[in-house]
Structure 1
Amino acid sequence: MSTSALHYGSGSILPSRSGFAASTGGARPARPGQLSQGLLDGLAGGADPETIRELSHTSAAALLDRVHHTEDPEVVARVLTLVDHEGVDVIAELWSHAEPDSLPGVLWRLYLLRTWMRKRTTAIAQLWRLGEPTVTSASVIAGVNQAPTEEDIAATADSILAGAFTGDFAVALDRAAVFTDVVANGLRLQAHRMVAGYGPDAAASDEEKAARTKAARLMHTAANLMSTAKVFHHGAALWRHGKLE
């Protein structure tokens, strides 16, 4: 699978104020009632924005606290796959409008990162190898080797999110930030390769114009990922100072 399989600009990754947003595609998964029915009814009915804001912060803090204080692997597994089971739209309505420098805002981006990584394992593995051709400190921090396989990317996606709930939250955010930075670098390099050797735009053939359009989409996605990486870095710093709420 080529990196074009990431479907940049076609719905798989959509630019947003959050840096990037992932679409899970297909029908929404069934929700087994892990969120209270009252909350779901309130969301469906268009609750007051201030109520939603309060719920987003309260639910994020409660979820993180509960998992940090449990050793039950089933609880950890349910939280890890929250978006899979609840449906991305419910989680989005609860957390997606939270400030980037808030706990629900950061958790939302962590869940999106996991969803995206697990849906695009082959392409992301290729982008990692392109963006990080030799082992550096980024590889060590993110926990990814020099030539990751699809399975490695899926495992990393789970371990970053799981680490946020069961380990040091700031370390998990650092890993997420470094990971997105490397993938963004891979996208930029891929974009440059697509247009290498082409002449002025005015003299471009249809094939060259198509390549430039694809390259521009890659660069746009890279910029979104870099923005998200900054959110993760900032979130890690806030957490270490007890200011991420």
Structure 2
Amino acid sequence: MYASRTVFAPTRLGSSRPSRPGQLDQQLADNLAGGLDPQAVSEMSHASAAALLNQVHASQDPTVVQRVLKLVDVEGVDIIAQLWSDADPDSLPGVLWRLYLLRTWMQRDQDAIAALWRLGEPEASTASAIAGIDQTPGAEDISRTADSILSGAFTGDFAVALDRAGAFTEVIAYGLRMEAKRVAHEGRAKQGSESTAPHAEHSTSAVDHDGKDLSDQTRAARIMHRAANLDVTAKTFIHGADLWRRGKLE
């Protein structure tokens, strides 16, 4: 349950202690369904997503847009998780759930994401143009882009917003793969130097958030896994854009 949120767990470059923005209470996650009819939950999920999107599009009131944009900031991620987190990824509530989590992640881990963008997009390309972000963004650029993508979903062309989200996550996934290669390379270099140094103490391990020792190779593998998850999410956004244009995202 709520597997989507793990896609947007931030990577602290050079650190083995990743944190997850907008985490859901585990007890809530375990007991959320609480006897509700799954079909009824699904119907509410689709109806609420469509109603929210239609209301903001019809209103275009900046105050309404800001309230919807900052829904998670004010109410917490649980409020949308209750109806949207289990929705199919190729559905309107499933896509909106991922858009909200993407914004939350981008807002809470701006510096690391900016660094990952610079790794994944060292030269301006079509991804930069689609995502609407500078070649060398700073933390504030990431924050503005996060708001721009989500607000664009409610006030502009929904498919374009999904295309932007897809392009952005593709670049970040590539940046994560570059970071994983760097971590693995440094780990091998350390091991090589330690094997030739008499009485050298091993220093290629780090400690994760559970207090467990992690080798550089393990850290690299975890980063690669996160990159793979982000690639899937990017494809979900891009597929959602195609479905929306064909009138089949419901």
TM-score range, shorter chain: 0.7 to 0.9
* Greater C-alpha Rg: 2
1:147 paired residue number: 136
Alpha-carbon distance in 1 for matches of 2:241, 2:97: 15
Aligned counterpart for 1:24 among listed residues 16, 22, 25: 22
Name the CA shift for 1:154/1:224 in 2 (closer, same or farther; >3 Å). Answer: same
Alpha-carbon distance in 2 for matches of 1:144, 1:211: 31
Q: Which amino acid aligns with 1:147?
A: T
Contact 1:164–1:172 under 8 Å retained in 2: yes
2:57 paired residue number: 68
Alpha-carbon distance in 1 for matches of 2:113, 2:52: 29
Q: Which amino acid aligns with 1:24?
A: G
1:185 and 2:174 matched: yes
Contact 2:124–2:135 under 8 Å retained in 1: yes
Q: Deviations over 1:50-91 (max 9, x none)?
A: 111000000000000000011211100010011122221221
Q: Secondary structure at the match of 2:247?
A: coil
Alpha-carbon distance in 2 for matches of 1:173, 1:123: 22
Aligned counterpart for 1:229 among listed residues 215, 234, 247: 234
Give me the TM-score of the superposition, normalised by structure 2: 0.80
Give me the TM-score of the superposition, normalised by structure 1: 0.82
1:207 and 2:204 matched: yes
Aligned counterpart for 2:158 among listed residues 166, 169, 177: 169
1:110 and 2:107 matched: no
RMSD: 2.5
Alpha-carbon distance in 1 for matches of 2:35, 2:83: 11
2:222 paired residue number: 217
1:57 and 2:46 matched: yes
Structure 1 residue ranges without an equivalent (≥5): 13-22, 28-42
Percent identity, aligned pairs only, is: 59
Q: Report the number of matched residues.
A: 217
Q: Secondary structure at the match of 1:3?
A: coil
Deviates more, 1:163-172 or 1:88-97: 88-97
1:125 and 2:130 matched: no
Contact 2:24–2:77 under 8 Å retained in 1: no
Q: Which amino acid aligns with 1:233?
A: I
Deviates more, 1:69-78 or 1:163-172: 69-78
Q: CA deviation at 1:210?
A: 1.5
Contact 2:16–2:219 under 8 Å retained in 1: no
Structure 1 runs (4+) greater than 4 angstroms displaced: 4-7, 43-46, 203-206
Contact 2:128–2:134 under 8 Å retained in 1: yes
Alpha-carbon distance in 2 for matches of 1:138, 1:117: 17
Q: CA deviation at 1:49?
A: 1.1
